[in-house]
Structure 1
């Protein structure tokens, strides 16, 4: 019996004997640890029978082709009644004459395809990326930026948190000084983020990573240049944006005549009054730009020691009625005035534009006024003059809702997951039938040696090939963090895996993290992380210094355990609250820390060494690379072997008296010798 069946979109497909289906199985090629691999087939042909044409959406009919060829088809392969590929994807590569070229993808491919798109897109309900934001999985974590939220978050161990991190405003000496919550920013637990991403794909996670003690403590700490709302909030119109903006355009000329205003030559020589433009009133806290655009003519006395002039002013009024000038523009007589060199002249001004950026609280307002000098000066503001206030939806203002996907850097979901897997030396294996993805370490594979599969009898005596190198490794392989000009010395958190093989290139990058390392500074109870975003020479709270993304380890500081029972104060300028029990003080590395995020080992306390990520999670790979042996042999594997295949479990060959990691099963077909790449363990 050698019956193979292919189902596409739950319909059995007509096959031909001339183009057999061969399947390749792989989860992680040790030759390229920075990437995860998946299962795939060869490109095979199926005949364009009427049945197949209908299943594929009539791809050979240029005029009537449906949308099916532009998407992945659901696929299933059954061999001798066994579902070898229960859940796969079929890709239509091309049409040649009366045949369709097809490739089947499965395993990790389906899972990683479902992770397509950026983290930011998960907060965009209009995202074109596979309806990524349709479920808005991050919405449940929306929360207000305020004093109460920040204090309540100190004990959180999942979701969002507002830890004590110095962005450049915390006093270097006086730790009793209240922390300004306007200069605080949130972090988000990476474990929660990855759980959200996986849940959104329809999969569930398992494996040793979930039991790792460091993994649930990792925080992606805000380090972006702008603290912005999510896409849906930016594009919304209810209560903010367009409906909170204002546009006022004059229907007639505005005439400002000094004589009619009761101005005289010797007294009342100047007059300041509101002008005939609508006033903007903030109904809630907003950021925005006020702009005045107009044409005018100023007629008056020039060419004397006391020329007339005119000023346009954008004013701010707070909710209590206190007024102040925000910006102004003065119009004097110039060489443009006509007639030239006369006493009474007219100054034309075209496209005068006056703008000012505001951060308004509820009840604040913005209005236009003027200042006129000399009784015989008259200003004609032409019809069509416009005063507008445009609300900027992007910045998050204190008191507004935070959309947590914007805590992260602008990277893809895959980037975040791969960064996490590389940090812990994790291999990813997907079970499409149970919709489960397993995250296991190299150590797990070695630990599975006692339950290794004995493939001795399946090995065909067709010789073997032995290679002493794996892929793109070099003599020195760098494990790197991103550089950040504010973190010195550079590369202090990097490490390298050294391979004692002089035939390899001198050096190569094994991988580079999406994040940069972070330094510490002194604070109550020890130290806190420092991400320098505030310019020390500036008087405002703008985050003007660019930094790379940051990852930290959450640490809960029990203030009650410290001498003299210190407190940490938080203030928003109106209210100050003391916390006397627990605050979150995350770090990247510190000698007295429980963990160390550096790839390299670092000094601990009392002469001890803090093991880095390389020492903790990559010794097995280092051992494999110390005397690399990649063996290629041929095996006769049954459909049940393929059905029960678990690439996290090694195989044993009595011929070599060795245990092997299955690096790749290449082009399996029932009853045919199959090429298998094996990597010696130990």
Structure 2
């Protein structure tokens, strides 16, 4: 046996035993992916090994080698038994340096670490979240190459699958797009997922609210020093929640006239919202204002405007006026993204670990995962494929070593009489759980075998339901006067700051539909008397956290996508469905072969006289035939192969 670390041959003791355990997928644990590994090797303390390990035995050594994954090569009779393994230096023991070797998918999962799918670079799919892009993105012909699709689904707002406002639609990102980006950034190839649903799987937007990146927010921060001007205006170019802070450092307070600072949202000189605070003490006075710039608002001429009353710069005439040392205004958007701004694809994905998404896909379709280190390729094979591959089976009958009775197992891993496959729990979700049965009363009654990082979705005739919106309710304390229409509102006799609930505000160009809540502005020169829109039914919703979801593009359907109350475009899109990926659907189909293994389960651990090519050519998708047992088997594991005698193998009857 020969061992190389970072390309240089290491010294081994003459009696070194190199034992390899080979596996890709332990079918008794469908929620995991395994790798092949060696026994712990002891490298004797020689000058060469000291150099290779950075003299790690010495406490005073500052070498980084013990803290690095090392490239390794393990040869048995000139053949690599572990393909391109990674070496981990465990420590320095009494007889030498202790090293473990791992080969296969472990390196991929080490690289992925705890990265979220939100950490991926999907910037090529970022786009303007507006009417034009929603209409273009709703087309039923879109594929994973397009990255996303705007397919309607019920978010908790009034829902009609055949008619939707553009701003009520959110992009669903193709799962394959995300999956392939994970592997691309990890530097790994794959041969596709051989399932008819693979190109139809999507991750619908299911977060509490859409978000902007910090870069987007920071690029729109405006800070102004208004020391020399009585007023200052900041143009508003984007919808969203805009926080505005005005600070004044008062140097002198006049008792002759009241002083104040104010922030106003106005369009072409007409005030839309007013927030003021008096300046009554020396030192710092701060006004924090918050304006909701709804997507339906006309942004032409819209600005945030500040004005101070009876305040002048320090050093000037103080007669009748207060003075200040500095006066600043700052505007900054909150992170929530509004319609008619930019949609960041990665940031608005569910917060799921990249490795958990890979394991979830493996569990959904009962896939055998095998990593070829030489081609750096992940291969996914349905477990059902073993039935077809019986014609390719390896006949290992002559390799059996007869040394008594072959041990037989009847308990299949941690499976129970009812082995549950579950979606993540969400009280706002549906039911996608189901179970495989094992006819063995010696086992536990029930046990959870798989839990996906997604919640199930309730499905209706119009598609799936992900209710992250919930309706707020107006109460009498929210308004002073109720009226039916904009016309009847305008005929009311009101006082300054009276709040009026207009039950049908469709006469207001800024209100797409439903009611509006207004504040009356009166006797505030130079502003003419008028109305400030405080809330409207179209946006009067709370948002709440729901668990991540996965869905399938289903049947095609026409939908009218509305831009305004009088303009819509009809597109042929796809409904989102959940039932095709419910375990009630998947277990009878994708898990058919595994159910066959569970029925009267028989696992044997015979000793087989394998050679190095048997181990190096391990392919978990090819069954093993043993004439003595007149059966085909799944090779679950080759245990501690040394090349110096029989090797114990774990086989499950197909």
The CA RMSD measured in Å over matched residues stands at 3.0
Q: SS state of the match for residue 384, structure 2?
A: helix
Say if 1:199 and 1:630 are closer, same or farther in 2 by CA, change over 3 A: same
Say if 1:362 and 1:547 are closer, same or farther in 2 by CA, change over 3 A: farther
Q: SS state of the match for residue 672, structure 1?
A: coil
How big is the shift at 1:645?
1.6
- C-alpha distance in 1 between matches for 2:152 and 2:386: 39
In the TM superposition, 1:508-547 aligns within 5 A as: 508-522=447-461, 527-537=462-472, 539=537, 540=539, 544-547=543-546
TM-score (norm 1): 0.77
Q: SS state of the match for residue 535, structure 1?
A: strand
Map of 1:216 onto structure 2: 199
How big is the shift at 1:161?
1.0
How big is the shift at 1:52?
2.7
Q: SS state of the match for residue 555, structure 1?
A: strand
Q: SS state of the match for residue 422, structure 1?
A: helix
Of residues 84, 89, 92, the one that matches 1:95 is 92
How big is the shift at 1:474?
1.7
In the TM superposition, 1:543-558 aligns within 5 A as: 544-557=543-556
Count of residues in correspondence between the two structures: 574
Matched, 1:188 2:178: no
Map of 1:644 onto structure 2: 617
- Any conservation in 2 of the 1:287–1:359 contact (CA below 8 Å)? yes
Of residues 426, 430, 447, the one that matches 1:484 is 426
Map of 1:426 onto structure 2: 367
Map of 1:42 onto structure 2: 39
In the TM superposition, 1:6-405 aligns within 5 A as: 6-96=3-93, 99-120=96-117, 122-123=119-120, 136=121, 138-153=122-137, 154=139, 155-158=141-144, 159-172=147-160, 179-206=164-191, 209-210=193-194, 212-229=195-212, 233-234=213-214, 236=215, 240-248=216-224, 276=230, 278-282=232-236, 287-294=241-248, 296=250, 299-300=254-255, 311-318=260-267, 320-330=268-278, 352-359=286-293, 361=299, 364-370=302-308, 380=322, 382-392=324-334, 394-405=335-346
Deviations 1:277-332 (A, max 9, x none): 6433346666542112445575548xxxxxx85543221133x443233423357x
Deviations 1:525-577 (A, max 9, x none): xx232222222236326661322212111135254xxxxxxxx3323449834
- Any conservation in 1 of the 2:18–2:39 contact (CA below 8 Å)? yes
- Any conservation in 1 of the 2:232–2:307 contact (CA below 8 Å)? no
Matched, 1:469 2:411: yes
- C-alpha distance in 2 between matches for 1:588 and 1:21: 49
- C-alpha distance in 1 between matches for 2:2 and 2:408: 36
- C-alpha distance in 2 between matches for 1:379 and 1:118: 58
Say if 1:378 and 1:467 are closer, same or farther in 2 by CA, change over 3 A: farther
Unaligned runs of 5+ residues in structure 2 are 312-317, 474-536
- C-alpha distance in 2 between matches for 1:546 and 1:170: 19
- Any conservation in 2 of the 1:30–1:470 contact (CA below 8 Å)? no
How big is the shift at 1:197?
1.8
- C-alpha distance in 2 between matches for 1:573 and 1:372: 44
TM-score (norm 2): 0.80
Map of 1:673 onto structure 2: 646
Of residues 589, 592, 607, the one that matches 1:616 is 589
Say if 1:656 and 1:674 are closer, same or farther in 2 by CA, change over 3 A: same
Q: SS state of the match for residue 90, structure 1?
A: strand
Say if 1:176 and 1:94 are closer, same or farther in 2 by CA, change over 3 A: closer
Deviations 1:106-156 (A, max 9, x none): 122223333334234534xxxxxxxxxxxx3x2322222122222222230
Map of 1:128 onto structure 2: none
Unaligned runs of 5+ residues in structure 1 are 124-135, 253-274, 302-307, 332-345, 560-567, 590-595, 601-611
Say if 1:325 and 1:85 are closer, same or farther in 2 by CA, change over 3 A: same
- C-alpha distance in 2 between matches for 1:278 and 1:59: 66
- C-alpha distance in 1 between matches for 2:276 and 2:15: 82
- Any conservation in 2 of the 1:515–1:548 contact (CA below 8 Å)? yes
